[in-house]
Amino acid sequence: MMTDDRIDALIRRLDVQSSPADGFVGSSAADLLVVARAARARDASRIGRLRRDVGTALTSVGAMVRPSSTTRSGVAWAVLVATLLLAAALVALLVGGQHRLPPPFGLAGNGRIAFMADGHVFTSAPDGSDRRQLTFGDGTELAPTFSPDGTKIAYRQFLPGEPASDPQLADVVVADADGRHPRVLDRAAQALSNIAWSPDSAFVAYSRAVSPDHERSFVAPADGSGPPHDLGASSDDSWGPTWSPDGTHLAMATLRGLFVVRRDGTDPVKLTHGSYVEIGQKGEGAEWSPDGRSILFSAGSPDGPTQVYLVGLDGAPERQISVDDWSANAASWSPDGSRIAYMRSGDGSGPVAVITDATGHEIRQLPGQYGWYQPTWSPDGRSLILTDDHPGPANDVGPAVRVIREVAGKAKPIVIPAPGVTLDMLPDWAASWQRVALP
Amino acid sequence: MTARTTVADGANELRAALGSDAAFEAWYRRSLPRVFSYVLSRCGNDVSLAEELSQQTFVAAIGQRVRFDGRSDVTTWLCGIARHKLADHFRALEREERRRMNLEVRQIQLSDSGASRPGLDDRAAIADALRSLPAAQRAVLAFVVLDDLPVAEAARLMGKSAAATHSLLHRAREAFRHAYGGDSDDD
């Protein structure tokens, strides 16, 4: 009979140094870099620095007192110091925490999630709780998108009477982030694209039909203080305009390729070298990297499926980052620019979400199947919203917004039911995540 | 070395690691093997689980960075966090096992597994035997035998009473003996 000691000795044989696989080291390091950057950003903020320093001071006091001091005066001194530091932190939080806005791009804190359901715009807390309906019009409102400063929300409002399966005429609407004070910036637009916010949250850009066969891009002040400005009155058709991170340029898809123009529509520069059937599916043109140096776009080629491409502003040819064998679409940058998420055709149950590094090297395919909607990164870069529009055996709640927590891990997604989301309505993105100041 | 100096060293190491991408990656690559090894040996050499828990450990460590008091070196602190991740994992597993009521099935399988006895230094067989145990038994062996924690401390980690944990440890050794094929050993 083996004794207990013998058993223990056997089990201790397992306690040896092991090396993790290189692949895991690389991919997990990339994932954790995002978490570390967010921590660094928080530490760099005024409140973050204070909180960190107070925390360090408190642990230092604890460590100094713990090993040697057993006297009442030592403990009392430590408590006094800790209390004063906490009081200082509280005062700073109360004073400095008011009216703080997130930076115009890059990492930020996670606010509420906006999504469409039953033809209207709703918001909820990131865990799906505190669900609030923002729009109540007779028509259909969809594709909500928060402004970069998190204070406003833009959406497309299809007019009453437009068929839900093929709505045509829509208003460009901007409201406060809670849905109040809606302002119509452009009325009865046909073939209205997504609405893209300028980094300073003062303007929106979008494209619309200007005649039955032609679309052009426009910029409008978000407060409704002026008429929309036509970016290409004398040029080709263009659609899906998106802002550079510094707000000085916009990228636009055209029949001749992807172009970058100044914010007044002048100085067009063609970025793409290839020939495409169409750039930008479902009204989405392209997405700038947070550093403004490269642009992601989706395009259909004459002899193959839609693919995701990455093109720099240096004149070099674009590079396909998705895999030839599958269709790929709807790519988006993580807020810190370290990763890309896009949707790729799966096994017939719906597209899968793929995470790559900034060069397009695949890091991970997320579990599950979803719809062809643009993945939405959380402002802190740690989570991802994916939208599922296909009821089926693997989707017992029906259409839903799924918040993939900790993209690097295996935490169970948060499911936010979003009935009424269907492919027929073709929203380009079904959800937006509000950016707020880092705590 | 004074307590103040130790605190400063540990805190500085962590702060420096978070100071830049390059520093963080170097620190992570330096620290990961020890954390990974710690977790791997305690979860029955389940590599994917060890990878998952290791990553959770680093995410938690970054989140709790201001609570690091520098009394240990950073890697020891990381292993402490990993221990809590393991405890969480074992608790979740135990709940799952209870829900599925497959504890008896496992023990029936254990009875069958004693037919062929591996060599005493066969780590794969040791890991297999450990992995075949119910979650609570694995947990108590990991914490008491591998971590050398007092039973009361293991009990606290696992959310059980000390008496129940003593009893659990006894059953765990019995089950391991059975699973490893040592119940007929004459040594």
| Beta-strand runs (E) in A147-202 | 152-158, 169-176, 183-190, 196-197
Distance CA A414, CA A4 (A): 45
Does the structure show a pLDDT above 80 at B10?
no
Dihedral-angle region of residue B20 (phi above 0 means left; psi in -120 to 50 means alpha; beta otherwise) = beta
Say whether residue A68 is in contact with chain B using an 8 A CB cutoff.
yes
Binding-face residues of B in 101-120 toward A, CB within 8 A: 120
Q: What is the predicted ipTM?
A: 0.78
Residues of B in contact with A13 (CB under 8 A): 121, 123, 126
Distance CA A260, CA A295 (A): 10
pLDDT at A302: 72
Does the structure show a pLDDT above 90 at A68?
no
A304: enclosing H helix or E strand: none
Q: How confident is the model at residue B164 (pLDDT cuts 50, 70, 90)?
A: confident
Instruction: Give the distance from residue B13's alpha carbon to the nearest chain A alpha carbon, in angstroms.
Output: 13
pLDDT at B166: 84
On whether the CB atoms of residues A186 and A171 are closer than 8 A, the answer is yes
Does the structure show a pLDDT above 70 at A322?
yes
Between chains, do B52 and A409 touch, taking CB under 8 Å as contact? Answer: yes
**Mean pLDDT computed over A341-345:** 88
Between chains, do A16 and B41 touch, taking CB under 8 Å as contact? Answer: yes
- Give the residue from B40, B47, B25 showing the smallest Cα distance to A31: B25
Residue of chain A whose Cα is closest to the Cα of B8? A60
Residues of A in contact with B66 (CB under 8 A): 51-52, 54-56, 59
Between chains, do A59 and B21 touch, taking CB under 8 Å as contact? Answer: no
Distance CA A208, CA B120 (A): 75
pLDDT digits (tens, 9 = 90+) for A233-270: 656 788 889 999 999 999 999 888 899 999 999 999 99
Instruction: Give the distance from residue B111's alpha carbon to the nearest chain A alpha carbon, in angstroms.
Output: 16
Does the structure show a pLDDT above 80 at B187?
no
Q: Which three-class secondary structure state does DSSP give residue A413? A: coil
pLDDT at A158: 84
pLDDT at A403: 82
Does the structure show a pLDDT above 70 at A97?
no
pLDDT at A271: 94
Q: How confident is the model at residue A45 (pLDDT cuts 50, 70, 90)?
A: low
Of the candidates A19, A20, A60, which has its C-beta nearest B4's C-beta? A60
Distance CA A217, CA A205 (A): 7
Does the structure show a pLDDT above 50 at A29?
yes
Chain-wide mean pLDDT for chain A? 81
A349, two tokens: 């149950």
Residue of chain A whose Cα is closest to the Cα of B176? A7
Say whether residue A20 is in contact with chain B using an 8 A CB cutoff.
yes
Does the structure show a pLDDT above 70 at A69?
no
Say whether residue B185 is in contact with chain A using an 8 A CB cutoff.
yes
Say whether residue B177 is in contact with chain A using an 8 A CB cutoff.
yes
On whether the CB atoms of residues B96 and B32 are closer than 8 A, the answer is no
Say whether residue B56 is in contact with chain A using an 8 A CB cutoff.
yes
- Give the residue from A111, A108, A112 showing the smallest Cα distance to A41: A108
Binding-face residues of A in 259-278 toward B, CB within 8 A: none
Say whether residue B41 is in contact with chain A using an 8 A CB cutoff.
yes
Of the candidates A19, A33, A63, which has its C-beta nearest B7's C-beta? A63
Residues of B in contact with A64 (CB under 8 A): 3-4, 7
Mutate one of B6, B12, B36 to test the A interface: name it (highest A CB count within 10 A): B36
Cα–Cα–Cα angle for A181, A132, A110, rounded to 5 degrees: 90
Instruction: Give the distance from residue B159's alpha carbon to the nearest chain A alpha carbon, in angstroms.
Output: 22
Instruction: Give the distance from residue A37's alpha carbon to the nearest chain B alpha carbon, in angstroms.
Output: 8
Distance CA A215, CA A209 (A): 4
In total, chain B counts a number of residues equal to 187
Residue of chain A whose Cα is closest to the Cα of B44? A14
Instruction: Give the distance from residue A116's alpha carbon to the nearest chain B alpha carbon, in angstroms.
Output: 32
Does the structure show a pLDDT above 80 at A73?
no
Say whether residue A94 is in contact with chain B using an 8 A CB cutoff.
no
Residues of B in contact with A18 (CB under 8 A): 33, 36-37, 40-41
